[in-house]
Structure formats: C-alpha cells, structure tokens
C-alpha cells in the first residue's frame, strides 16, 4: 500500500471524528473514507440490541429488521463473527466485517461494492486498523448519546417540576407533561390518561388519539398500590399516577416492535414520580386558588373574581346611570399554536398577549382571564362607540406584536405573531346582569365565524 492512500484514508477518518454529530453523519463518513478502496454502492451498520437480541440499523434504531431472507443472512454472519471470531466474510461484491470493542462483538458492517471485491485489495492490508477505528467511533458516539440522554432526562424532570410555576389547571398541565415526556422518550408512543371521577373510567388527555383500545382495559388493573405494569410481552409500560393514595391517571409508553428496556423503565418511573409530585402540588394549588382572585399565568382576575366584579360594576352602573361596556376576546387559532410549537410556547403567547393588552387599558378597566385563551374586559364609564375604539386598539396592538420564542429552541423560528377576535357589548340595565358578557360572547362568536382578527358589536 502506498503512503498517500494510507494518509488519505486516516485523514478522512480523523475529519470524520471531528465533524460527525449524529449517526447518519458517522455512517456517511465511513462510506466516504472506504470509497478510497471500493466503488461503494451502499454501506450499512447494524448493532445487536442486547435487550431484545435483535439486530438494528444503526441509523434507525427504532426499526426492527424484517424477517426476510436478506436480514436472516445478516443475522447468520453476525452469529459467525460471534462464534468463529472470523475477521470478515465476503460474497462477490458484498463484504461483512464485525464491530468489536473490548473483545466483544457489538454488530457488523455490510459494505456493498459496485464491482466484485477481491482479497488483493489494499483495504485488507490495513483491515485491523479499519475495524478498530470504526468500532471506536461508534462506541464514542454511543457514549456521547448516553450523556445527552442523561442530561435531557434531568432537564425533563426539572421542566415537569417547574410547570406549576405558571400553570395549575390540569387541562393545561397534563398535555404539557405529555409533550415533555414524548420529547425525551422518542422511540415509544407516549399517552397520558386521567381517571374520570364520576364515571370511574380513564380518559385520554394527550395526545388526541390512542392507537390501541386494549390500553383502557389494562388501566382498570391499577390500584393504589400498583407500581409499574408491563403488557404485550414488555412492549407496553403503564406507569400509574397515584395522588392522595388514589389512582389519578397514568403515563403509558408503547412500542409496537420492541420491549421497553430496563433503563427506559427506570427513566419513566422517575418521571412518573416527579409527575405525581407536580399533580399533587397542582391539586393543592387548585384548592387554595378557589379562594384566590388572580390567574397565575397572566396576572388578570380569574373567572371567579370576574363574576364578582361583574355583579359590582353592573350594579354601580345602574345606580349611577353610567355607561358600561364589555369586551370579550379570543386568540385566533390558539390550538394550532399549541399543536405546532408546544404548550410551553402557548403559555408564552398567553402571557405576552395579556401583557400587550394590559398596556392599552386604563387603570379603572377590569381585565380577567375567562378561561383558556379567552379574555374579558369590563370598561366602566365607557359607551359603545368608545368601547369600539378601545377594541380596535387592542386588536391592532396584538396583531403588531412579535412574540419572542427563541428560548424554546424551535427550529428555524425565533418569533411568531397571533391575532385576536373581539366581541363588544353595552350594558342596558338588564335585569339579568350576565347578559352583558353573554352578548359580548355572541358577538365574539360572530367575529370568529366571519373571518377572525376583527371586532364585532353586539346587536
């Protein structure tokens, strides 16, 4: 072998070690380095999964190899390397060689050339160097991945623990948890269920659909003392959420092909424990906030306080014979924001919109979060024409606002914009004071049905 060929090969591997950031880049780098010796048509790396004892494509570890003749052939070569300790096997234009680390056979490489492979090829003169380098790089990348997974796991625990700093409503908390867990356990389907108190059955909270109705039957097995339930030959794990010594819900992880590994079970059990603590805390907050007046996320009045202020302001307006108007707003396509960017970004949007609107109101105006993405505002001493001007000002302020979401690390997206639809009504000394906001709600519905991002005055 001439020095230049050896130099080019080792230099290619050195560059690969510095630049390869993921599995696909690593395999592509192997292909480029080995192309010095062979006109490569294809190159694949397979690793043995110790837990399931199945060979996995290194670049697609979530997929099982189908039980076809080609992959049975791959398994046969792996067994040969495992038992006979041969250095390589070849068939015309295909070469197999093992991945070995610390005297342990981890998998194999399948190299397919466009022409017949001959043993006089210079590649075989440095074969031990090739296998040692490839095995080292794969082991190093896997080690780095484990460090990242561990870091991501602890960040997931931290994020779940921090949810109740801004949210306490379970309809918001549970989907956020689902997104966080799904972002960490990516090789399994993740479901979050909550137990319906009245019907004593489980309801899917996250995501929108469940692919296997048998899960509902398995959930019925949960008791206050249940820890972890494994079903379908270990491919499904059910992790109960026990709050106040009662089954409250469950996290379910499911993979149609693979068993859940022992390490994944450990991770999910710790996540379950943290999720249970968060739900317990949220449940306590809800009990306390039943007597509170402010919404934790926006700082606006909560719905309970709004109803109190509504009675007070309508009564005062009637006694003093003063005008009073109500503005009801709804963030357009807010569900799409949650579905596209996640509930954490949705929270950011709610806070930003609330803050933007607050700047446009007077101190005497009463701002409340009515629920979800709906806000409601009482404008004392304001007639309908003035209220319409205010509503347009609010709509325009939100439309112009750029919401910075850079901290959430959304690919190619640093800021987003949203719009609001608005309904406006005027108090007309009705006996039913609730008609004030009901009329505004009707006008809001019309605004949403006729194009959104507009103001409609109640008739």
Highest mean pLDDT among 164-168, 423-427, 430-434: 423-427
**Mean pLDDT (whole number) for 82-110:** 89
* 439 has pLDDT over 60: yes
Burial environment of residue 171 by CB neighbours within 10 A (0 to 12, 13 to 18, 19 or more): exposed
Query: Which residues are catalytic, by number?
Result: 373
pLDDT at residue 12 tops 60: yes
Give phi and psi for 251, each to the nearest 5: -100, 130
Whole-Å CA distances, 400 to 403, 416, 453, 455: 10, 11, 12, 16
Q: How far apart are CA 192 and CA 194, in angstroms?
A: 7
**More confident site: 58 or 376:** 376
- Decide which of 387 and 57 is more confident: 387
Element (H, E) at 371: strand 366-371
* pLDDT over 60 at 65, yes or no: no
Quick one: pLDDT at residue 171?
Answer: 72
Please name every residue paired with 426 in a beta bridge, in sequence order, or none if there are none. 325
What is the rounded CA–CA span in Å between residue 162 and residue 459? 45
Of 311 and 60, more confident: 311
Q: Residue 271 and residue 284: Cα distance in Å, rounded?
A: 20
pLDDT computed for residue 167 by the predictor: 67
| pLDDT number for residue 63 | 66
**Mean of pLDDT values over 97-102:** 90
Beta strands in 36-150 (DSSP E): 40-49, 54-57, 89-91, 94-101, 104-113
Neighbours of 287 (CB within 10 A): 9
State residue 136's pLDDT score. 87
Range with the poorest average pLDDT among 49-63, 209-223, 398-412: 49-63
Per-residue model confidence (pLDDT) at position 67: 53
Query: What's the confidence (pLDDT) of residue 8?
Result: 75
CA 404 to chain centre: 19
What does 199-231 look like in DSSP terms, one character per residue? TTEEEEEESS--S-THHHHHHTT--TT---EEE
Query: pLDDT for 285-295, tens place per residue?
Result: 767 666 678 88
Long-range contacts of 192-199 (CB under 8 A, 24+ apart): 192/249, 192/250, 192/251, 192/252, 193/219, 193/249, 193/250, 193/252, 194/170, 194/248, 194/249, 195/247, 195/248, 195/249
Residue 326: what pLDDT? 97
Q: What is the pLDDT of residues 239-253, one digit of tens each?
A: 999 998 999 999 999
Instruction: Please state, in angstroms and rounded to a whole number, the distance separating the CA atoms of residues 357 and 294.
Output: 17
Domains of the chain: 3-144 (3.30.450.40), 166-289 (3.30.450.40), 303-457 (3.30.70.270)
Helix (H) or strand (E) holding 239: strand 236-243
Classify residue 255 by its DSSP letter.
-
Asked if 220 contacts 231 with a C-beta cutoff of 8 angstroms, the reply is no
Confidence of residue 144 (pLDDT cuts 50, 70, 90): confident
* Cα gap 268→160, rounded to integer Å: 13
The strand pairing partners of 89, in sequence order, are 96
Which is more confident, 152 or 216?
216
- Rank 128-132, 337-341, 372-376 by mean pLDDT and report only the highest: 372-376
pLDDT per residue as tens digits for the range 261-283: 888 999 999 999 999 998 888 88
């Amino acid at each position: 072998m001439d020095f230049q060929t050896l130099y080019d090969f080792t230099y290619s591997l050195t560059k690969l070690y510095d630049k390869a950031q993921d599995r696909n880049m690593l395999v592509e780098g192997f292909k480029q380095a080995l192309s010095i010796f062979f006109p490569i048509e294809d190159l694949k790396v397979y690793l043995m999964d110790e837990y399931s004892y199945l060979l996995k494509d290194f670049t697609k570890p979530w997929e099982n190899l189908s039980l076809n003749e080609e992959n049975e052939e791959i398994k046969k070569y792996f067994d040969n390397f495992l038992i006979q300790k041969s250095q390589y096997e070849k068939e015309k234009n295909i070469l197999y060689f093992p991945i070995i680390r610390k005297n342990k056979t981890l998998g194999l490489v399948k190299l397919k050339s466009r022409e017949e492979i001959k043993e006089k090829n210079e590649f075989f003169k440095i074969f031990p160097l090739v296998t040692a380098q490839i095995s080292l790089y794969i082991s190093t990348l896997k080690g780095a991945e484990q460090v990242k997974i561990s870091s991501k796991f602890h960040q997931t625990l931290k994020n779940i623990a921090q949810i109740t700093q801004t949210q306490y409503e379970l309809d918001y908390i549970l989907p956020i948890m689902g997104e966080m867990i799904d972002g960490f356990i990516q090789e399994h389907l993740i479901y979050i269920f909550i137990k319906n108190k009245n019907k004593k059955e489980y309801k899917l909270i996250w995501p929108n659909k469940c692919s296997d109705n048998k899960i509902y039957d398995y959930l019925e097995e949960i008791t206050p003392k249940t820890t972890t339930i494994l079903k379908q030959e270990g491919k499904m794990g059910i992790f109960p959420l026990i709050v106040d010594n009662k089954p409250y819900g469950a996290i379910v992880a499911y993979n149609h092909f693979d068993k859940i590994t022992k390490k994944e079970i450990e991770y999910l059990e710790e996540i379950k424990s943290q999720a249970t603590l968060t739900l317990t805390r949220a449940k306590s907050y809800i009990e306390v906030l039943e007597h509170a007046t402010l919404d934790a996320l926006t700082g606006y009045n909560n719905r309970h306080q709004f109803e109190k202020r509504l009675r007070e302001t309508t009564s005062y307006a009637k006694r003093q014979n003063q005008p009073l108007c109500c503005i009801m707003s709804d963030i357009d396509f807010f569900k799409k924001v949650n579905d596209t960017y996640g509930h954490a970004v949705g929270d950011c949007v709610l806070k930003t919109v609330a803050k933007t609107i607050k700047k446009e109101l007077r101190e005497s105006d009463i701002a409340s979060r009515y629920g979800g993405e709906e806000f409601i505002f009482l404008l004392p001493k304001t007639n309908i024409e003035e209220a319409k001007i205010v509503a347009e000002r609010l709509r325009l302020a939100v439309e112009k606002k750029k919401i910075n979401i850079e901290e959430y690390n959304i690919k190619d997206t640093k800021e987003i914009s949203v719009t609001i639809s608005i309904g406006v009504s005027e108090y007309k000394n009705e006996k039913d004071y609730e008609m004030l906001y009901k009329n505004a709600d009707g006008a809001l519905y019309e605004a949403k049905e006729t194009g959104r991002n507009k103001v409609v005055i109640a008739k």
